[in-house]
């Protein structure tokens, strides 16, 4: 989700974060985001699978999810550290990355008690960021981007229910957590 959000903000809505870069810098930033929030956590999951620490990449049991989510939270924290202390692109980007790392950590702790839908948390988290940024900087996010994201979110959440991966309560908790956490982070700190 971090890579998608980064791509949207860098290419389609740079005014929302107050940063305009040439395409080379945008590609470099997306690469950093993709490596720290997708590739490295994926490698961690593969290692956990190879060492039989998890039974499946789908993480069907909530007990199996805590350790992988904790490691993913660490990598999101590293991404936040890079964005804030090394790159410091803009206040909005700093808030987004700190919020994402915090959100993954909160979801990790909730997973101890409930198999929260991380897909729902991530999709609604991005939606919360987009709407809050558009609130803070009116007309900075094209309406069609938000509409497409809402459609993708609906598709993703529906697929989780259709595949019986999550119960509705797990979807709702993830959706509310992701949206509220992200929206309020931007409104308060940007």
Q: What is the pTM of this model?
A: 0.94
Residues 6+ apart with CB under 8 A from 92: 16, 17, 18, 133, 136, 186, 190
- pLDDT (tens digit, 9 = 90+) per residue, 101-110? 999 999 999 9
Residue 137: what are its φ and ψ, rounded to 5°?
Answer: -125, 85
Answer yes or no: are the C-beta atoms of 155 and 119 closer than 8 Å.
Answer: no
- Per-residue pLDDT reduced to its tens digit, 73-117: 999 999 899 888 988 788 999 999 999 999 999 999 999 999 999
- Phi/psi for 90 (5° steps) reads -160, 165
Residues 57/45, Cβ–Cβ less than 8 Å: yes
**For the packed helices 91-111 and 62-81, what is the interaxial angle rounded to 10 degrees?**
160
Q: What radius of gyration, in Å, describes the C-alpha atoms of the chain?
A: 16
The mean pLDDT value for 36-48 works out to 94
The predicted structure's pLDDT at residue 82? 87
């Amino acid at each position: 989700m971090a890579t998608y959000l980064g791509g949207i903000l860098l290419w389609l809505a740079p005014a929302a974060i107050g940063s305009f870069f040439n395409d080379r810098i945008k590609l470099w930033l997306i690469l950093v985001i993709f490596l720290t929030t997708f590739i490295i956590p994926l490698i961690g999951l593969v290692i956990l699978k190879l060492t039989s620490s998890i039974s499946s990449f789908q993480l069907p049991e909530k007990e199996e999810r805590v350790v992988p989510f904790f490691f993913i939270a660490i990598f999101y924290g590293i991404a936040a550290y890079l964005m804030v202390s090394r790159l410091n692109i803009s206040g909005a980007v700093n808030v987004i990355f700190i919020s994402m790392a915090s959100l993954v950590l909160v979801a990790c702790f909730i997973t101890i008690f409930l198999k929260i839908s991380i897909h729902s948390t991530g999709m609604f988290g991005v939606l919360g960021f987009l709407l809050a940024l558009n609130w803070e900087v009116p007309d900075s996010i094209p309406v069609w981007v938000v509409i497409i994201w809402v459609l993708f979110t609906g598709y993703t959440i529906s697929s989780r229910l259709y595949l019986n991966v999550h119960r509705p309560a797990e979807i709702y908790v993830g959706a509310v957590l992701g949206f509220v956490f992200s929206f309020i982070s931007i409104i308060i700190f940007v």
